[in-house]
Amino acid sequence: MAVYSFMSTNRLVILVILVFGGLPSFSQSNYTDSLENLLKTPIHDTVKVWALNELSREQIYGSPGKSFELANEALKLAEKIGYQRGEAYSYRVLASISGTTDRYLSYSEYLEKAIKLFINLQDSVGLGNCYITEAVVYDRQLNFESSIDSYLKAIPIFRNANMPERVAVCLNNLGFVYYQMKQYEDARESLAEAIAINESVNNTSILINSYSNLGLVLTQLGDWDEAEKYFEKVIQLHEALKDNSNPEAFVETLIGKSQIYKARKQFEEEKKLLDEAKRYSEQFNYMELRKQTYLRLSEYYLRARSFEKARELLNEFVIIDDSIAQQRRQNQASIIASVINSAKLESDFEKARDNIDKQELVIAQQKKTLIAVALVGVLFFVLLILLFMSNRGRRRMNRTLAAHREAIDIKNTELERLNQTKDKFFSVVAHDLRSPLNSLFGFSNLLVKHTELMSKEEIKKMGMQLSESVANTLKMTENLITWARSQMHEEHTNPETIDVRTVINETFKIAVEEATKKGIVLQRDTDEQANVYADKNHLSLILRNIINNAIKYTKSGDQIIVKAVEENGQTKITIEDTGIGMEDEVKGKLFSLEGAVSREGTSGERGTGLGLLLVKSFVEKNGGSLSVSSEKNKGSKFVVLLPSSPS
């Protein structure tokens, strides 16, 4: 099979490993998650264009509609900011989406615009990628000669640019085109070179296709033993890659290997492979592969004299063949429209002739459909009876499953109750720590993969955003570590007599930069000395977390006032802000692990939600108490009471 490949897909997580001491490797779904998280953060417009296009191309096969919306959004943003390279890439992604969904008129328009922009930008690599898109669409249209010409234009571009992965993509697809044209020696030569390159760079996503394609070629050449070796490599890679494998290449391998078993008269092994191919091709709705599988299975059952099963599969074959033929009729119409548009044909005679040709194709297909319908009619009544019996059995099975599910739900409820505290802690880590890590990964990926396409100013802006993201994540990590230590009773209290004003001043020095950046006024309303008898590190953490929390939930022009006064043997420290406040429901969960997943700040800040848990814990460890009052949109007030002297 041929594959679309837009660019190198290295998944680099070196930056995150260096900062946090190691994380699991990222899969394709992780990469998609990192892009989605990156788009939720404030980023430069040019970076956003790249991220939207990257996310769009990741979803071309799984969600073409969503992919089209993302690429269109990227195009509009690129046009708005005058970013031509972003426009060119967006047009190419849109062309690829249109080509894979057989909308050839739109495809030709988008690709023509992409090519013109890449030529104006003197971007040979972008032009080479357009040639690949063009070649794949020609292949879908069964225009093999034009497909080969496009690949042969792209290969020298990527060789000169020293891009072996792109060369390997072209050679793999070129080999499959030769295979479809029955030029097996040319196909073997092209695929052997593609495999050598992919093995040298460990590009498994393309390698599995190349192994499968070469196995199919060797089967046609009669070299069954060598073909079987490559089919086995596909199966091993499929099991190793799991969700990141290519199921289409796997199904083609199962069908190809089954034909080797058929030739060796190992019919039971042939059937096992075809049954598995049928299951996968139906799961992913590979129309052509379903058609092949039904036909080969019906041949098996005819040999085994299981005529009822053979008729059932032939009926499926006729239905799927009719669907494919109908799709081809629609494709023919799109292809004709595309050719007319790109060549700007003005002759009414030529248009009329094209319409006549199309009508003749429709008439021929209708005759074929009538014959198929006549065959299907004979089996229709039997099929209805089988469907009725199958549905009745399925209803009985559903009732049994519902009873089992109810019992399982009761047990699950009990288990959830027993594990609630543990699960909540892990949800805090997963929700609030993973998100910034994904953003860091998305930033680093874009920076590594597109550095040569960005200006120094763009790189500098991304670097500054990376630095801010790392700093914020380190703050969250510090709270997590401190909280974990406090839960393991590793935090010791060393009380001493402290002038609160000193600790307030130290905390203001740390917080003033962030407050100034948001336009918030920090004010200390404490002139007289006010002592507390507490652990100084704990007191610093208490004030730092409450003041940082106040900054997070206040806006430009708001105030944060800190006061401290001794009264009745205790020192009362008040931190009051004029920010957005909170609802009673939020306030009620403020000091419980249940409410530990934090809200976003007024500038999109994130945290673990453990800060106030730490504050309450450390206040109580030092013999004090903590209270809070708040009203939505009017602000919040935290009051800390600590001993003024040793008791």
Among residues 53, 129, 39, 124, which one has the least CA distance to residue 87? Answer: 53
| In the predicted structure, residue 190 carries a pLDDT above the cut 80 | yes
235: its two tokens:
């199966």
Say if 335 falls within a structural domain.
no
Q: Do the Cβ atoms of 121 and 85 come closer than 8 Å?
A: yes
Q: Which amino acid is at 513?
A: E
Neighbouring residues of 135: CB distance < 8 A, sequence distance ≥ 6: 146, 147, 148, 150, 151, 154, 170, 173, 177
Element (H, E) at 627: strand 625-631
Separation between Cα atoms, residue 365 and residue 372, nearest integer Å:
10
The pLDDT assigned to 429 comes to 56
Say if 621 falls within a structural domain.
yes
Separation between Cα atoms, residue 10 and residue 43, nearest integer Å:
22
Beta strand 495-499 pairing with 625-631: unpaired
Query: 341 falls in which pLDDT band (50, 70, 90)?
Result: very low
The pLDDT assigned to 339 comes to 42
Cα 257 to the chain's mean position, in Å? Answer: 33
Separation between Cα atoms, residue 471 and residue 392, nearest integer Å:
61
The predicted-structure confidence for 482-538, as pLDDT tens digits, reads as follows 656 655 555 678 899 999 999 999 889 888 888 998 999 999 987 788 999 999 989
The pLDDT assigned to 352 comes to 34
Separation between Cα atoms, residue 197 and residue 164, nearest integer Å:
7
112: its two tokens:
């023509």
Query: 355 falls in which pLDDT band (50, 70, 90)?
Result: very low
| In the predicted structure, residue 64 carries a pLDDT above the cut 60 | yes
Q: What would the 3-class secondary structure string for 528-566 be?
A: CCCEEEEEHHHHHHHHHHHHHHHHHCCCCCCEEEEEEEE
Report residue 490: phi and psi, to 5°: -95, -5
Say if 23 falls within a structural domain.
no
Element (H, E) at 492: none
The predicted-structure confidence for 194-210, as pLDDT tens digits, reads as follows 999 999 988 887 888 89
Say if 541 falls within a structural domain.
yes
Among residues 339, 328, 276, which one has the least CA distance to residue 146? Answer: 339
Neighbouring residues of 535: CB distance < 8 A, sequence distance ≥ 6: 493, 494, 495, 496, 618, 621, 622
Residue 501 domain boundaries = 495-643
Across the range 427-432, mean pLDDT stands at 53
The predicted-structure confidence for 289-332, as pLDDT tens digits, reads as follows 888 899 999 999 988 898 898 898 888 888 888 887 776 565 44
Domain count, the chain: 1
Write down the mean pLDDT value for the chain.
79
530: its two tokens:
């006010």
Across the range 138-150, mean pLDDT stands at 91
Say if 195 falls within a structural domain.
no
Q: What is the CATH number of the domain that holds 575?
A: 3.30.565.10
Query: 60 falls in which pLDDT band (50, 70, 90)?
Result: confident
Say if 508 falls within a structural domain.
yes
Say if 291 falls within a structural domain.
no
Say if 426 falls within a structural domain.
no
Among residues 603, 583, 604, 579, which one has the least CA distance to residue 595? Answer: 583
Question: Helices (H), strands (E): how many in the chain?
Answer: 24, 7
Across the range 405-426, mean pLDDT stands at 60
